[in-house]
Chains A and B, each alone.
Chain A
């Protein structure tokens, strides 16, 4: 059982890493033939870095677009980030100082993450327009994340599995040998959902994460008059005549 589960984890992780790298290579290798930043846009590369930072850190555009979605979305994403950081303690020995420091905050973040997700789900159910555009996979994706957050909180506040064993299991996997996991149903559920999420990441809308960094309307400097921008396939047209 443990071996089978370990194989599932390895495969998911592999699909996640290789799939994501392949996707990123694909985005990076596809030319952007025209300058299409949504203006007003920064005119320098430094300005672009700032614009992207604001997008990533504060979801600036979404803030302009819809306050409720922004609030729920931002709460969910940054809570999850804190939760992920908190989980680093299962993969590091000794545990890094800052990971140790954020442990209590990570717990609260688990709760706010769940709150954010429920907010996003509520929109899909109760707002006409959002219900119209939602596909079954949109809903399932939220349910999966809600399941992950809820099962995690359940283990924290109700049935504590032996976390030392969990840690040994993952440190073991990192050194390519399989230790046993504590016999805890919620733990298995939690891990299955987490690694399912990683598995589907590179072939689903979760690609919005790398996608943002490659979005020409956001990552291009607005300097078309100052510098000639031309894609290789377009430059060929000039030699053909």
Chain B
């Protein structure tokens, strides 16, 4: 890891030259048998992988309209070609979204379209060979499914959908990625991505109660498995022990405390993250999300609130209602969803983001802040990709941008924006999303962080920014590691609720 040098900043954000093959063979570790088998996938590459992979592709094409349309619709216009942070950082042309998609599209053409069957060369179709399969594994694990390309595509083609399909095909033939599959196994077995068992969790939480008591003199509780609590908080497990994540967890607890909200965590369902999304597998996505449904039903809560995590919020906001009925508007005959939806309090959006919760409380004037507590910071906000392009907050388009910023402005005095070509819907991924947050992909991660680092450097130089707030566990972990490589202090990254925690006045109201 020490030998990884960051790429040089571009003096002007120009489009980089192509360096074919620059990232060949830079893919992640392959999952060993035990890890794959635990998820019901073949342990290692099966003998008839070719036929199985094509059959799986046909199956996905019949079940996902997105994949079907996206395979046909691309005209190679190139609008996406300079939009991917991994392309910008690595200059490998196969990291251009269109070229990455074409790794699959060329196989699609060969096996599923007439011109590709008759004139493969003419339309750029190719057989699924072992080399092609290896390229899939390599380049589909250099995509963080951040959807930035889909913003600019005239047909809305979303590379994330193609990447997910590719990873699902790879899993189905026993060619899975170690990191994602290992983590999913931990969720099934223990209940969270970090494999933190219930007793350890309780220990950590009581330790936190002591810490907060020491720091503030106030008894802020971190309750777990409390039946009949109003709010069930589902948060990424990194919040329980990783820095700077834990400071945001303290922030949530203080908000609940200050507003007198009864809340609880769940030891059985102690993970907001859902890596089923990353491997594109509906069954896994659903099975992982079902733990939340189960916890909500068992604890009898009225509201479900989700902590600071980007992809988890996308899954929660966009998919939980579909997968598990956490939401509203189920058909009266839909017994499965009604069971839970009757229990939830529909005066509130279900599920709600912790930022929605806090912002509502700020608007109701139920929280008091001493903004000067954050005066040591000049703050900027990094929009996390899944929040920006895969969800909303507040029930209106763009609420996902406004609400976290509103909170920051309510708790701190110094806020500046980064360059508008890299914020809001145009935000760049941190470089570690989509199942890439693993040391075996450090090279890709560092290079993928380049566009964000450039803009952070700019506001650091011009405005003295020394704190980049975000609302994503993966962003926090990625930047903590990558910032020092680019010459920043690792403490520059932190959560929005970390700022809330600094400024909140307990016991005044």
Q: Tell me if A183 counts as interface (CB < 8 A to partner B).
A: no
Is the C-beta of B28 less than 8 angstroms from some C-beta in chain A? no
User: Which residues of chain A have C-beta atoms less than 8 A from B121's C-beta?
Assistant: 136
B322:A33 contact, CB within 8 angstroms:
yes
Chain B residues numbered 192-218 whose CB sits less than 8 Å from any CB in chain A: none
B395 at the interface (CB under 8 A from A): yes
Q: Are A35 and B99 in contact (CB under 8 A)?
A: no
Q: Beyond A135-B76, A205-B73, A228-B330, is A217–B150 a contact (Cβ under 8 Å)?
A: yes
Partner of A224, one of B75, B77, B158, B317: B317
Of B2-10, B64-72, B242-250, the stretch lying at the interface with chain A is: B64-72
- Whether, in the assembled complex, A128 has its beta carbon less than 8 Å from a beta carbon of chain B, the answer is yes
In the complex, the chain A residue whose C-beta lies closest to that of B386 is A39
- Between B79, B152, B327, B329, the greatest number of chain A beta carbons within 10 A of the residue's beta carbon is seen for B79
Expressed in whole angstroms, the minimum distance between the Cβ of A135 and any Cβ of chain B is 3
- Smallest CB separation, B327 vs chain A (Å): 5
- Among A42-96, those with CB < 8 Å from B are 42-43, 47, 55, 59, 61-62, 64-66, 69, 73
A108 to B321, CA, bound (A): 53
Q: What distance in Å separates the Cβ of B245 from its nearest Cβ neighbour in chain A?
A: 24
A38 proximal to B (CB < 8 A): yes
Query: Is A62 in contact with B66, judged by CB distance below 8 angstroms?
Result: no
Instruction: Encode contact with B along A131-169: 1 for CB under 8 Å, 0 otherwise.
Output: 011111110100000000000000000000000000000
Best-buried of B80, B81, B93, B337 by chain A (most CB within 10 Å): B81
**Max chain A C-beta neighbours (<10 A), residue from B64, B75, B395:** B75
Q: Do residues A207 and B331 form an inter-chain contact, with CB atoms below 8 A?
A: no
A5-26: CB near B (< 8 Å → 1, else 0) gives: 0000000000000000001001
Determine if B398 is an interface residue (Cβ-Cβ < 8 Å). yes
Residue numbers in A under 8 Å from B497 (CB-CB): none
Report the nearest A residue to B87, measured CB to CB.
A129
Question: Does A125 sit at the interface, judged by CB under 8 A?
Answer: no
Chain A interface category by residue count = 35 or more
Per a CB cutoff under 8 Å, which of B114, B322, B389, B390 touches A229?
Answer: B322
Interface flag for B484 (CB, 8 Å): no
A215 and B156 in contact (CB under 8 A), knowing A31-B63, A129-B78? yes
| Cross-chain contact B151 with A61 (CB below 8 angstroms) | yes
Contact residues, A207-228 vs B (CB, 8 A) = 207-208, 211-212, 214-218, 222, 224-228
Q: A38 is contacted by which of B78, B79, B83, B147 (Cβ under 8 Å)?
A: B147
Across the interface, do A39 and B154 meet the contact criterion of CB distance under 8 Å? Answer: no
A38/B151 in contact, CB under 8 A: yes
Checking A40, A217, A224 against B398 with a beta-carbon cut-off of 8 angstroms, the contacting residue is A40
Asked if B329 contacts A230 (CB within 8 A), the reply is no
Tell me the bound Cα distance from A238 to B283 in angstroms: 12
Asked if B66 and A205 make an inter-chain contact with CB atoms under 8 angstroms apart, the answer reads no
Q: B398 — which chain A residues lie within 8 A by C-beta?
A: 40
Q: Are B282 and A211 in contact (CB under 8 A)?
A: no
Q: Is A3 an interface residue (CB 8 A)?
A: no
Q: Are B65 and A234 neighbours in the complex by a CB distance under 8 Å?
A: no
A39 CA to B425 CA, complexed, in Å: 7
Residue pair A27, B389 in contact (C-beta under 8 Å): no
Contact of A127 among B72, B78, B99, B113 (CB under 8 A): B78
Q: Which of A212, A224, A226 has the most CB of B within 10 A?
A: A224
A128 (CB) vs chain B CBs: closest residue: B18
- B93's partner among A33, A129, A138, A238 (CB-CB below 8 A) is A129
Residue of B nearest to A41 (CB): B397
Instruction: Contact check, A133 vs B98: say whether CB atoms are below 8 A apart.
Output: yes
B residues in contact with A229, CB < 8 Å = 321-322
Say whether B396 faces chain A, with CB atoms less than 8 Å apart: yes
- Decide: B77 and A135 in contact? CB cutoff 8 A: no
B79 to chain A, nearest CB (A): 3
Whether the Cβ atoms of B63 and A65 lie closer than 8 Å is no
8 A-B pairs with CB atoms under 8 Å apart are A61-B152, A66-B79, A123-B78, A128-B17, A129-B96, A137-B115, A208-B155, A217-B66
10 shortest interchain CB distances as A-B pairs: A65-B152, A211-B73, A65-B79, A135-B124, A40-B397, A217-B156, A227-B329, A218-B156, A62-B154, A215-B156
Apart from A66-B78, A135-B123, list 15 A-B contacts with CB within 8 A: A32-B64, A64-B151, A65-B151, A132-B18, A133-B76, A134-B76, A136-B122, A205-B74, A207-B72, A215-B69, A215-B155, A215-B156, A215-B157, A225-B328, A228-B325
